[in-house]
Structure formats: structure tokens, C-alpha cells
Structure 1
Amino acid sequence: MHINPHLFILPRTPRQIVWDYKSHTQFELDLEYSIRLAELIENPNIFDTHNKIDNQFLNTGIMTTSMPATAKWGWDDLSKIFHIGTKNIPCEYMPQNIQEWSKQYLDHCTEVLAQAAPCLGPDHHSSLELIALPEPARLPAGDLTDALIKRKTCRSFTGEALSLGEVSTLLYLSLGYLKERAGGTDECVAEGQGARRSSPSGGGLNASEGFVLARNISGLAPGVYAYHPAEHALSVVNPLPESSLGQLLCGQHFINDLPMGLFISVRFDKLWWKYEHSRAYRMAYIEAGHISQSFQLVATVLGLGTWLTGALMDDQVETLLKLDNSAEQPLFFVGCGQSDGQVMCKELKELLSRQDLPS
């Protein structure tokens, strides 16, 4: 006998939860069952066919008669649990044709809409005074190919100020609710779900939000601001932290001169409202990636260099954005500014040049 290799155990007083993250099944074990499982984990060979608990473990898949084949995984177990645990969305019935799918999807949406919806706009700092942004500029006509080719990750910035107009355009075209698309919403879209961004969003929920870290923006005091896409406005969240930007981003101090950065967060409560399965967690990161790319392409057209990272000092960033213990969490950072276009900072180049010198 063998212990199922896809078990994850969670303490939940007064029970122990055993989750089979591959088959998406979970069980609550009392003390007697928990003790027996611990004994079998230590020595699966003591499995007793006459033991009621042992047989229940076998019937539920906690124990197996043979060790299942598992793929080689080069990372830690946490990433493996996340990947496997969000595969193969459980489905009680798989639609066999478009008519069945349509009815199933409509029934699901009806059920979701019968529940109280989370605040559809940013729920952070909504009572604070809003700072209106200038009308976003219309980008010059050009080939998208040019922007895609020119976009590059830079690690050397001059620190030169951005204009508030540039910031307005960047935010509107990456996170704003596009007024140009307001009249094109399908009549079937539920009330409150009609806002459209330049990037796709899982379920049309627009679960991502943005926080501007303003170091050097003409017409805007340095600080941290929440972006309100419906109003195309900002509200003050915090002053700039005493520590450098690089300190918040795992020591990447070459970007301390960035005049503007954008923390992209996700409202998990919006995703939970419509999608109960953990697969939606993947969509949060995909949506953040879409927004990051849109931001970078707009910045490139504006003649700015861009830089991005997922390496955050999460607890410090959450505190800075006032998201401690919140259903909204920061996932990603992207910034832009005037740059000489260098992929490496000069300090790293100097180190590399020394290695090339003869000993």
C-alpha cells in the first residue's frame, strides 16, 4: 500500500483537512482518523484489510494499492500543488453542444447575479477626495508593429519628470474604462458589468486595480495614489515610503530613479463572486500580465523606457498600499521614464567588464 502523493494536510480545529489536490476532493478527519493516517504515513505496510478506517482511506483514494506515476517537477512543492490543484476544473456535466453550453452558462450567471455583488469599483479609499486627471491624449497614428518591436526592458533611467498628461494617457489606456467603447456593450451584459478596458479580463470582472507610485510627475505631489478607472482620477493613499523603491522590490536598486511606477493588484473577492474554483487564481496573474503589456506599449509609443517585475516585498507593499489582510492583493509592478535604453545598469556593466580583464 502507498499514501496518495497528491495529499495536502491542513489543520482546522477541531478537525484535520486532507485535500487531494489532484482529484479536487477533501475530507475532514477526527482525532482517531488523524492518528491512524499518521501511523500509515510512517509505515504504509501496516495497512490492515480488517481495519474499518484503513478501508475507508483506500476507498476514498487517501491510500492506493500502487504508487501513481508523477511527473518530474524542478521547483518546490508549493508551485506543484498550485499548478496541479488548479488543473481540470470540476464539472458535474460537460455540455455536449452549443445549446447545452448556452443554457449551462446562463444558469450559472443567473445564480451568480442572485448573490450580492462585491463593490464593482475600487473599494479602497473611495471616500477620499479625487484628483481629476487631464484628458488622455490620443496616441499618434502608427503601426502597432513599431511599438511591439521597440518595446524593451530597461534598467537605466534618468529620473527626468513625466508630465501629468503622460501619466493620464498611460493609466487610461491600460487601466481606464474606455468611454470610446461605452456604446458598444452587448445588451446581454449584466448591469454594472459593462465597463471595458483595453485588455481582456476574466469574466469581464475587471478584477485588477492600479496604484501609482509618483516620484517625479509634474503637477502631482510625490506619493502613492489609487487609480479610479470609472472617474479617471486619483486619490491619495500614502506619502512616498522612506525606503527606496528598490528596497520594496527585493533590492533592485537600479530603478530607484523611476519617476513613475504602477503596482497592479487584484480583487480576489470579485473573482470569488463569479468563479468558485481556484483556477480563477491563474486568471488573476494573466490579467495583470495583459495590463502590464498594454502599459508598456503605450509608454513605448510615448517615447519612454519601461521596466517590470514580480519580485515584491509583499508585506511592505501591502502596508504601503493599505491592503493589509485584504481580499485585494498586489501582484506585479511596472514602471516607466526617460531612459538611455540600456538593458543593464552601469554598475552591472562595470562588474562584467572587470571579469573580462586579464588576470
Structure 2
Amino acid sequence: MHINPCLFILARPPHQIVWNYEQHTQYELDIYYTTRLAQLVNDPSRFDRSNPIDMELADKGILVEGPEKHIEWKWDELSKIFHIGTKNIPCENVPRNVNEWATLYLHHCAEVLSSPPPPARTKQYPVERIALERPSWGELGEVSLLRTLLNRRTSRSFDNRPISLDQVSTLLYLTLGYLNERSCPDAGFDARRSSPSGGGLNACEGYLYVRNVKGLDTGIYAYHPDEHAISLVRRLPDEPLGQLLCGQHFINSLPFGLFITSRFDKLWWKYGHSRAYRMAFVETGHVSQSFLMVATALGLDTWLTGALADHQVERLLDLEQAPEQPLFFVGCGHGDSQVHCPELMALLDKQDVMP
């Protein structure tokens, strides 16, 4: 017998929890089962069919007959656990036709709605909100989708020119705002965004990084899509932006950016299975692409990263230990549209002339 390769063990005193993350099953082991499993991990050949504990471990799939083959994995075990552990959603009743699906889905929604929904925000901001003007579409009216797609690029060279508050308003409204032009109250969806959202939950939130925006003090602001307004969270920290983004200091002169967070509590409310964690990142990607497209259409250079100094950013946004977590950062401004910063270009040029 072999130890199932898709196990991990959690300490939950006075027991251990063994989780088969491929089959989505977990078992609580007392000291006797824990001790015996440790012996078999050390030497699987000690498996004894006359031992009832051994047979029960085999029956539950903790022990398996032969070594199981899996895709060759080049990342760490944690990423493998995430990928395999969020595959194959357990579903007792798979709908056989669209009528069954509709019935089951309505039952699921009724079950969800029987519990109170998460609050509008995980944190309350008692300071006065700053209402943003509704965007005018003048700058966007003549820009085609084709031209926007062709012009979008990741830039790493920004200067100190500011962007306007009108541009910020347009960016926020078309990225995270609840679009008045798309509300569908008759269908129960009165909060529509430009990006798709798993379950219509609008789980993403936005926090502005404002360094050089005309008409707006520097600081970190929370965006309130229901009012198209912002509120100050705190002044900018002393450390430069690059310090919050894993040392990417070429971005320090960026005038404006957006930390995109995910409301896990919204996802937990409707989807109990961990596959929904994948959807948090998928939705974040949709939102970031909307930001990049709008910024490009406004004639701004754009940049994006998932490399966050997580603890520092959580502290900055006042989201430590919260069911809302920052996942991504996008920014825009003016520059020379170069994909590399001048410092890296200088090193590359130096290499070119070396013998």
C-alpha cells in the first residue's frame, strides 16, 4: 500500500485533520489513528490487513493500492494543492436538462437569500464622501475599440505630469461603477458593471492611490460605486509606491493607481465551494482589463502588477485580517510609452557595446 499523494494534514488539537484535496473529503484522526498513520508514512510496508485501523485508512482512500500518476508540476506544492483542490466541484444532482438546471438554480438562490447578505463594505468610512461628477463621454466618443486594443501596452516609464479628476471619474465609473445605463431592476440586477462578475455579486472593490491628480489631495481613497463617490482612508505613506509593489521602484512617479480587492465574504455567501476562489482572480482580471482599456482610450499609458507586498498593502488599505483582500494593482499616467524603464534600457545599451 501507498500513502495517497493528494493528502495534507492539519493540526486541530487534540486531533489531526487529514484532507484528501482531490476527492474533497476530510477525516478527523485521534491519537491512535494519528500514530498509526505516522508509522505507515515512515514505512508503508508495515501495512497489515488484519489491523482494523489500517483497513479503515485504506477504505477512506488515505492509503491506496498503487502510486497515482499526476501531471508533472513545476511550482510548489501549495499551488498544486490549489489547482487540484479546486477541480471537480462536488455535485450530488447534476441537471439533466435546462428545466432541471433552472429549478435547482432558483432553489440555490432562495437558499442563499434566506441568509442576510454581506454588508455593502467590510469597513465603514465615517469621513465625508467626495461625490464625483458623472463622466462625459467626449474623450471616448471618437475612439474605436480596435484602436484601443492596438494601442494598449504595458509602460514602465512615467513622468510627473498629473491626470485630471474627470479622467479619474471616468476610469472609476467604467471600471467599478454601477452603470445607470445598464441597470435591470426587473431582472433583479440593479447593480451592473462593465465587467462580468461571478454570480452577479460584484465582489471586487477599488482603492485609489492618488499621488498627482488635479483637484484631489494625495492619499488612499475608497471608491463607493453605489454613489460614484470616494472617501479618504489615509494620507499617502512615507514609503514610495515601489516599496508596496515588491521593489518595482520604476513606478514611483505614477500619478494614479487602483488597488483591486476581492470580497471573499460575498463569494462565501453564495458559493460554499473553494472553486469560487478561482473566480475571485478571474473577476479581478476582468476589472483590470476594463481599467486598462478605458485608460488607453483616454490617451493614458498603463501599467499593472500582481506583485504586492501583501502585508504592507493590507495595512495601508486597513484590511488586515479582513474578508476582503487586495489581489492586483493597475495604474496610469503620462510617459514615453516605453515597455522598459530608462535604468533598465541603460543597462541593456551597455551590454550591447560590451565585447
* AA of the residue aligned to 1:83: H
Which residue does the alignment assign to 2:56? Answer: 56
Deviation beyond 6 Å, 4+ runs, structure 1: none
Structure 1 residues 1-359: aligned runs within 5 Å: 1-119=1-119, 121-138=120-137, 139-182=140-183, 184-185=184-185, 187-189=186-188, 193-359=189-355
> Per the alignment, in what secondary structure is the counterpart of residue 340 of structure 1?
coil
Greater alpha carbon shift after TM alignment, 27-36 vs 273-282:
27-36
> Per the alignment, in what secondary structure is the counterpart of residue 109 of structure 2?
helix
Q: Structure 1: state its 5+ residue gaps.
A: none
> Per the alignment, in what secondary structure is the counterpart of residue 9 of structure 2?
strand
* AA of the residue aligned to 1:80: K
CA distance in 2, matches of 1:205, 1:127: 24
Q: Contact between 1:305 and 1:337, CA under 8 Å: does it hold in 2?
A: yes
The Cα shift of 1:64 comes to: 0.4
The Cα shift of 1:214 comes to: 0.2
CA distance in 2, matches of 1:14, 1:97: 47
CA distance in 1, matches of 2:333, 2:251: 10
The number of equivalent residue pairs is 353
Q: Contact between 2:122 and 2:322, CA under 8 Å: does it hold in 1?
A: no
The Cα shift of 1:323 comes to: 0.1
The Cα shift of 1:127 comes to: 3.0
Deviation string 1:100-128 (CA, Å, 9 cap, x unpaired) is 11111111111111011111x22323433
CA distance in 2, matches of 1:188, 1:142: 32
Distance of aligned partners of 1:141 and 1:124 in 2 relative to their CA distance in 1, 3 Å threshold: farther
> Per the alignment, in what secondary structure is the counterpart of residue 69 of structure 1?
coil
Q: Contact between 1:125 and 1:226, CA under 8 Å: does it hold in 2?
A: no
If the length of structure 2 is used for normalisation, what is the TM-score? 0.98
Q: Structure 2: state its 5+ residue gaps.
A: none
Q: Contact between 1:161 and 1:216, CA under 8 Å: does it hold in 2?
A: yes
Q: Contact between 2:122 and 2:324, CA under 8 Å: does it hold in 1?
A: no
CA distance in 2, matches of 1:287, 1:127: 28
> Per the alignment, in what secondary structure is the counterpart of residue 269 of structure 1?
helix
Deviation string 1:32-74 (CA, Å, 9 cap, x unpaired) is 1111111111111000101111000000000001111111001
Q: Contact between 2:125 and 2:233, CA under 8 Å: does it hold in 1?
A: no
Deviation string 1:127-161 (CA, Å, 9 cap, x unpaired) is 33101112212122332111011000000001211
Could you tell me the percent identity over the aligned residues? 59
The Cα shift of 1:233 comes to: 0.5
Q: Contact between 2:314 and 2:325, CA under 8 Å: does it hold in 1?
A: yes
If the length of structure 1 is used for normalisation, what is the TM-score? 0.97
Q: CA RMSD in A?
A: 1.0
Greater alpha carbon shift after TM alignment, 102-111 vs 8-17:
8-17
Q: Contact between 2:122 and 2:323, CA under 8 Å: does it hold in 1?
A: no
> Per the alignment, in what secondary structure is the counterpart of residue 105 of structure 1?
helix
